Amino acid sequence: MGGTRQKLQTVGVETVAIVATPADRARLYYRFHPVDVPLAADPQLTTHRAYGAPNRELTQEIWQAVQAKYADLAHELGVAATDMRSMHARLDGFQPSASDEEDFQRHRVQFVGAFLVDREGIIRWANIEGAEDGLAGIDKFPTDDELLTAARALAG
């Protein structure tokens, strides 16, 4: 995100990331995995709801799609992992805590959104994970070029 943030700054766009976990847990995680983007913690998903990022029940179909994405990523990275939790542990040493499990139960399946918001707080451009491709679109996010193109179009 830091590289994307720097590119967006060149066209006058500031970036903030909002994570759906308590601030203390986010601080701990990002202390070991720093990002060059201002972060906000929203464990109640208030921002996600306000911006229309979908939240769904965890169905078998969704679970299979998510597990398949993790299996693809593990294969791509050459990591022997049988599920997403073991992959996280192998990649970055992250061990889920009881509060992470509580977040998972409370948040169900929270899709991710990227938004360009003007100075008045109006959403001028949005990209919601899976909105165009359904479950095939899980983990597909806009590229830096797509974000820059959208930002430039709004500025012009």
pLDDT tens digit sequence for 6-54: 999 999 999 999 998 889 988 988 888 889 999 999 999 999 999 999 8
pLDDT of 136 strictly over 70: yes
Helix (H) or strand (E) holding 109: strand 109-110
Q: How high is the pLDDT of residue 2?
A: 67
The answer on pLDDT for 115 being more than 60 is yes
Apex 67 CA angle, 100 and 5, nearest 5 = 65
CA atoms within 13 A on the CB side of 146: 9
Distances in Å between the Cα of 153 and the Cα atoms of 38, 116, 146 are 24, 11, 11
Q: What is the DSSP letter of 82?
A: S
pLDDT at position 91 over 60: no
Q: Are 114 and 79 in contact (CB under 8 A)?
A: no
What's the pLDDT at 83? 60
